[in-house]
Structure 1
Amino acid sequence: MENISKPVLNIPGHVTSNPSFCTFRPISPEEALEEKAILESLAWPRYPSLQPHYSLINTKNPACGSFTILPRRGGGKWHIGDQLEVMIQIHDYLCRPKKYGGDVLLARLHTPALEAGVAGHVVDHLNGSYSAVFTLLWEGRAEVQVTLVHSSEAVEVLRRLTVKQPYRINFKSLFRSGSKTESTICNVCLRPSRTPLCNFTDVRTGEPWFCHKPKNLGCESRIDHSRGGYTQNLRLDEKKLFVRCVFSFSDVNMKVHIRSSGPSDVFVTSNIKDEPMSTLSSVRWTPSGFYYRGAWRSLSGTAVRDFSPEQMTQCLKGKQVHLYGDSTIRQWFEYLLEVLPNIRKFDLHTKKQAGPFMALDYTNNIMVTFRCHAPPIRFGSFKTSEVRYIANELDGLAGGRDTVIVFGIWSHFSTFPMEVYIRRVMSIRGAVVRLLARAPETLVVIRTANVKALSLYETLTNSDWYSMQRDKALRAVFRGVDVRLVDAWEMTVAHHLPHNIHPERPILKNMINVILSYTCP
Structure 2
Amino acid sequence: MKVRRQEVSTCLRKYSGIFLFLAVSVSVFVLWNMDMLFKKKVKSSFIIPTFSSDPYMQHGFCTFQPLSPKEALEEDLILESIAWPETPPLPSPLSLEVTSDPVHSSFTILPRSAGGQWHVGDSLEVTIKMYDYQGRPKKSGGDVLFARLHNAALGAGVAGQVVDHLNGCYSAVFSLLWEGHAQVEVTLVHPSEAVTVLRRLTAEQPDRINFESLFRSSLVTETATCNVCLRPTQQPLCNYTNLHTGDPWFCYKPKKLSCDDRIDHSKGNFNQNLKTNEEMLFQDGVNMKVSIRASGPANVTVFQKNKDQPEVKSLKVKSGPSGYYYQHVWRALGGTTVHHFNTSSAISQCLEGRAVHLYGDSTIRQWFEHLIEALPDLKQFDLHSQDQAGPFLALDYAKNIMVTYRCHGPPIRFASVPTSELRYIANELDGIPGGPNTVIVIGIWSHFSTFPVEIYIRRLQRIRGAVMRLLARAPGTLVVIRAANPKALTLYETLTNSDWYSLQRDKVLRVVFEGLNVHLVDAWEMGLAHHLPHSLHPQPPIIKNMIDVLLSYICPELY
- Shorter-chain TM-score range: over 0.9
CA contact (8 A) 2:149 2:160 kept: yes
Match of 1:289 in 2: 323
% identical equivalent positions: 65
The residue that corresponds to 2:498 in the other structure is: 463
1:223-242 matches, within 5 Å, as: 223-242=263-282
Match of 2:129 in 1: 89
Aligned residue among 386, 393, 398 for 2:421: 386
Distance 1:57 1:208, change over 3 A: same
**Alignment partner, residue 443 of structure 2:** 408
Q: Distance in 2 between matches of 1:49 and 1:513?
A: 45
Q: State how far apart, in whole Å, the 2-side matches of 1:393 and 1:174 are.
A: 24
Q: What is the match of residue 193 of structure 2?
A: 153
Please show how residues 140-289 of structure 1 align to structure 2 within 5 Å: 140-245=180-285, 252-273=286-307, 285-289=319-323
Give 2:477's match in structure 1, choosing from 431, 438, 442.
Answer: 442
Higher mean displacement: 232-241 or 17-26: 17-26
Distance 1:236 1:273, change over 3 A: same
Asked whether the 8 Å contact 1:492–1:507 carries over to 2, the reply is yes
In 2, distance between residues paired with 1:438 and 1:355? Answer: 28
2: CA distance, partners of 1:53 / 1:19: 38
State how 1:11-90 maps to structure 2 within 5 Å. 13-19=44-50, 21-49=61-89, 51=91, 54-90=94-130
Deviates more, 1:142-151 or 1:37-46: 37-46
1: CA distance, partners of 2:374 / 2:311: 43
- Give secondary structure in 2 for the equivalent of 1:470: helix
Change (3 A) 1:206 1:107: same
Partner of 1:477: 512
The 3-state SS of whatever aligns with 2:390 is coil
**2:411 pairs with one of 376, 384, 387:** 376
Cα distance per residue 1:197-217 (max 9 Å; x no partner): 000111111111100000000
Q: Distance in 1 between matches of 2:63 and 2:41?
A: 11
Structure with the higher helix share, 1 or 2 = 2
1:37, 1:28 → 2: CA distance? 14
Q: CA deviation at 1:179?
A: 0.3
Letter in 1 for 2:297: P
Cα distance in 1, alignment partners of residues 199 and 168 from structure 2: 20
Which residue does 1:248 correspond to in 2?
A: none
| Structure 1 residue 11 displacement after superposition | 9.5
Tell whether the 8 Å contact from 1:83 to 1:284 is kept in structure 2 after alignment: no
2:553 maps to what in 1?
518
Deviation at 1:314, TM superposition (A): 0.2
| Counterpart residue number, 2:149 | 109
Give per-residue Cα distances to partners, 1:233-289, cap 9 Å, x unaligned.
0011100000004xxxxxx000010000000001011122368999xxxx9942100
Alpha-carbon deviation of 1:60? 1.1
- Secondary structure in 2 aligned to 1:406? strand
Q: Which amino acid counterpart does residue 392 of structure 2 have in structure 1? A: F
Alpha-carbon offset, residue 414 of structure 1: 0.1
Give the drift of 1:19: 4.7
Who is 2:27 aligned against? none
Q: Residues 212 and 276 (structure 1 numbering): CA distance in 2 closer, same or farther, change over 3 Å?
A: closer
Is the CA contact (8 Å cut-off) linking 2:121 and 2:309 kept in structure 1?
A: no
User: What SS does the aligned partner of 2:103 have?
Assistant: coil
Supply the distance in 2 between the matched residues of 1:486 and 1:26 (Cα, whole angstroms). Answer: 32
Is residue 132 of structure 2 the alignment partner of residue 132 of structure 1? Answer: no
Per-residue Cα deviation, 1:298-335 (whole angstroms, up to 9, x for no partner): 01311000002210000000000000000000010000
Name stretches of at least 5 consecutive residues in structure 2 with no aligned partner.
1-39, 52-60
Q: CA offsets, 1:166-206, max 9 Å, x none? A: 11110000000000000000001011211100001111111
Q: What's the Cα RMSD here?
A: 1.7
Which protein has the larger Cα radius of gyration, Structure 1 or Structure 2?
2
Q: Distance in 1 between matches of 2:386 and 2:374?
A: 22
3-state SS of 1:440 partner: coil
Give the conservation status (yes or no) of the 8 Å contact 2:88–2:196.
Answer: no
Gaps of 5+ in 1: 1-8, 246-251
Are the aligned partners of 2:99 and 2:193 in contact in 1 as well (CA < 8 Å)?
Answer: yes
Instruction: Supply the distance in 1 between the matched residues of 2:422 and 2:551 (Cα, whole angstroms).
Output: 29
Letter in 1 for 2:370: Y
Q: Name the SS for the 1:61 alignment partner.
A: strand
**Offset at 1:51?**
4.4
Q: CA deviation at 1:12?
A: 5.2
TM-score normalized with structure 2 length: 0.88
State the alpha-carbon separation in 1 of the partners of residues 250 and 310 from structure 2. Answer: 61
Native 8 Å contact 1:27 1:423 kept in 2? no
* 1:431 shift after superposition: 0.1
Cα deviation code 1:456-485 (max 9, x no counterpart): 000000000000000000100111111000
Residues 75-99 of structure 1 show CA distances to partners (whole Å, capped at 9, x for unaligned) of 0110111010000001101111111
Amino acid at match of 2:401: I
Which one scores higher on RCO, CA 8 angstroms, separation ≥ 6? 1
Q: How many residues align?
A: 503
Q: TM-score, normalised by structure 1?
A: 0.94
SS at match of 2:368: helix
Alpha-carbon contact 2:380-2:395 (below 8 Å) kept: yes
- SS at the partner of 1:114? coil
Letter in 2 for 1:418: V
| Distance (whole Å) between structure 2 residues aligned to residue 361 and residue 27 of structure 1 | 44
> For 2:488 and 2:88, how far apart are their aligned partners in 1?
28
8 Å contact 1:100–1:127 — kept in the other structure? yes
Indicate if the aligned counterparts of 1:172 and 1:186 stay in contact, CA closer than 8 A: yes
1:373–1:388 Cα contact (<8 Å) kept: yes
1:55-111: CA deviation from partner (whole Å, max 9, x where unpaired): 321111111100000001110110111010000001101111111100000000000
Distance 1:160 1:11, change over 3 A: farther
User: Aligned equivalents of 2:304 and 2:469: distance in 1?
Assistant: 47
**Which amino acid in structure 2 is aligned with residue 378 of structure 1?**
R
Shift of 1:26: 3.4
CA contact (8 A) 2:156 2:327 kept: yes
Query: CA offset at residue 115 of structure 1?
Result: 0.3
The offset of 1:52, in angstroms, is: 5.8
